[in-house]
Structure 1
């Protein structure tokens, strides 16, 4: 079953309404000036620390905004979601907070740390079903379940209510900046965050260069932009589990193709080096998707020199026990 508060691209007033609904629910995460990155790249570089959000990613914003606006009768039926991890935690937190039953489908390949975190936030309100090897497998299974049980499906990105929730990241960081940023660099998986940032840019700061960054092994946005339509990739590399989907959203694509100024693809090697640097030099434990924006700085060195730059650290759900693996991948020839 489907229900949306916003049935069209949300306007600025609606984005601000969504932000108001999230007050007291989500943290206003820090916008930190990075001395080391600023010195290295000759720019003023700020890190928007969504890895310090309640569920260690921005995904709570969209999930909660979607679920809190469901009519009472639909809340009573319960919700269904599919996620590689972070959206699942957002849905689990929202279900427990609002006392709504939920069923969350996750790929069998989801890191154990993320599965355990979902169980923690869900308490007794949401149950987990592990299905398939990719997000897309879990997504298909969750849709079948939603139809069978007449439950509302909470899409992780391709939903205007979810996009409006994620847009609060952009509204928040503009309020935190002393001057308008020249660049905002955001990871891109399904596109919910970039679409939200794109709408904030459109309404409040059209001069901002919005850079979308995706894994080299899952270039869903790049391929779709080249074809000028949403494509489904046949094979993807699942290393960046929080930003690797075979098919981006139709709604997120339509917003992003007009608001994203540039798309960059990052290799696993470059990403792993960035994860190590963030931990060693900034004290930031970023998951692979969360480090994409900072990894992109190398590709933008000449463009950002002397500019105001914001990198979205989108998530920090990462098991430190994986650092030996990250170290090996960072030093590949």
Structure 2
């Protein structure tokens, strides 16, 4: 099956708009991981992403009549910019449907790429809404649809990346790591590699909360996710493509999943080696490569990771820097309970020895016990469990929060926020779309019998916000509250029994 795509990739029309991106050695990563690490720098493309390859190849294969009628696409990100650039190059008109939630900076970027050739239509609150509207406009105006991943010409365009890798590095190559959203990139890359050098492993990387392809391959059928994590927005796809799934069944050796902290650490790693800043999806392959090396304990191998995009909002860097320390195992976070008595605080500090304290939060709350939120600099991932054991052995009750989302995103900023008035409080984490009216929609959906008793929100410069809410709900309203959550449509997590919440806020 991969050979079916070999001719398509070899004859793909991408270089009118794309460059042959550099295959660059990453010296710091190479030294740290004891393997040769090469980065395929697709972040250096004219639109700072690989997406223009597939989009342009699809458009360049359209007939003159099809180009004259124009093209249409649905996208809120890199694919939209690729289609816009292709439309300007080919002199055809393009309609790009984007959700109403799309930040203005992305809308402006698409218009700038396409100029007068591109019309941006804002419709719906999600990509799915925009996609359905684009299909309706396609039929109405007899336009040609340029799919972001599930199209043979788009897949072939992305496959030219693999063609370049094998031309640029003709020596031993053990594995190529590829980010997966809908599957267009890995389908094209895998098809070429397995046709030419099948001994090279093709390893996909997804986030733990957007792993539709991994689940689909395991189930041997396409699995649609109910919700997807939004940090790596470029790979936040609920349902992979039919054609990409068909190909991936034959060309993907395995899929590794990583969390937000690992991605942030990978962004930092690439910055150290290149002084370039990748977007989360762009760093996904590097995070997966590191996880693979750690799992397999391999040395002296040669690996390629595709750095597939760099369309990063500057405001997100605060969050990335904050979480990279944990992702790189340079910080561990704990909730520690000590006796509220003279000398106990000093004894706890002596336990830290020469370790560097990165954060320390405390507020008096109880006559008998003190609860401390503390961050400690570490050298390796196993340090956190060892530190926790040493605290417990010394008589201090300890909870290791190093990998706990509630604590890292919210609780560390809220220590000391207790209230005797917060009875019947339910604690929930939500992800809200970052747009005007999102909070009002939340508030107006609530029953007037419920009271917000806690609210914490931080803007990370992303397309969504992380929010922690305490809601006081009478016992006889619990059924109505469950209905409220189901109808709201925002991803949410019940944190009411979270041990750190019980220590610091309940």
Which bracket does the TM-score occupy, shorter chain normalised? over 0.9
Instruction: Verify: 1:316 aligned to 2:310, yes or no.
Output: yes
Aligned residue pairs total 324
Q: Superposed, which structure 2 residues align to 1:105-120 within 5 Å?
A: 105-120=97-112
**1:154 corresponds to which residue?**
146
Q: Unpaired segments of 5 or more residues in structure 1?
A: 1-7
Instruction: Verify: 1:196 aligned to 2:161, yes or no.
Output: no
Q: Is the Cα–Cα contact under 8 Å of residues 275 and 287 in structure 1 kept in the other structure? A: yes
Instruction: Spell out, residue by residue over 1:76-103, the C-alpha distance to the aligned partner (whole angstroms, 9 max, x if none).
Output: 1111101231111110000011111111
Q: Is the Cα–Cα contact under 8 Å of residues 185 and 212 in structure 1 kept in the other structure? A: yes
Q: Unpaired segments of 5 or more residues in structure 2?
A: 327-401, 403-506
**Once the 2 structures are TM-superposed, how far is the Cα of residue 112 of structure 1 from its aligned partner?**
4.0
Instruction: Verify: 1:124 aligned to 2:111, yes or no.
Output: no
Instruction: Measure, in 2, the Cα distance between the counterparts of 1:130 and 1:329.
Output: 33
Instruction: Measure, in 2, the Cα distance between the counterparts of 1:193 and 1:43.
Output: 24
Candidates 231, 236, 250, aligned match of 1:239: 231
Instruction: Measure, in 1, the Cα distance between the counterparts of 2:22 and 2:248.
Output: 25
Note the aligned Cα RMSD (angstroms): 1.7
The range that moved more, 259-268 or 104-113, is 104-113
Runs of 4+ in 1 over 6 A off after TM superposition: none
Which of the two has greater strand per residue? 2
**1:175 corresponds to which residue?**
167
**Once the 2 structures are TM-superposed, how far is the Cα of residue 108 of structure 1 from its aligned partner?**
3.4
Instruction: Spell out, residue by residue over 1:138-189, the C-alpha distance to the aligned partner (whole angstroms, 9 max, x if none).
Output: 2122112112221111001000011111110000111001414211000000
Instruction: Spell out, residue by residue over 1:22-48, the C-alpha distance to the aligned partner (whole angstroms, 9 max, x if none).
Output: 234310111101111111111111000
Instruction: Measure, in 2, the Cα distance between the counterparts of 1:44 and 1:80.
Output: 42
Instruction: Measure, in 2, the Cα distance between the counterparts of 1:87 and 1:303.
Output: 36
**1:253 corresponds to which residue?**
245
**2:157 corresponds to which residue?**
165
Q: Superposed, which structure 2 residues align to 1:22-41 within 5 Å?
A: 22-41=14-33
Which of the two has greater helix per residue? 1
- The 3-state SS of whatever aligns with 1:115 is helix
Instruction: Measure, in 2, the Cα distance between the counterparts of 1:34 and 1:328.
Output: 23
The range that moved more, 217-226 or 247-256, is 217-226
**1:305 corresponds to which residue?**
299
Instruction: Verify: 1:56 aligned to 2:56, yes or no.
Output: no
**1:15 corresponds to which residue?**
9
Q: Is the Cα–Cα contact under 8 Å of residues 134 and 238 in structure 1 kept in the other structure? A: no
Instruction: Measure, in 1, the Cα distance between the counterparts of 2:100 and 2:325.
Output: 28
**Compared with structure 1, are the counterparts of its residues 110 and 42 closer, same or farther at alpha carbon in structure 2 (3 Å cutoff)?**
farther
TM-score (structure 2 length as normaliser): 0.62
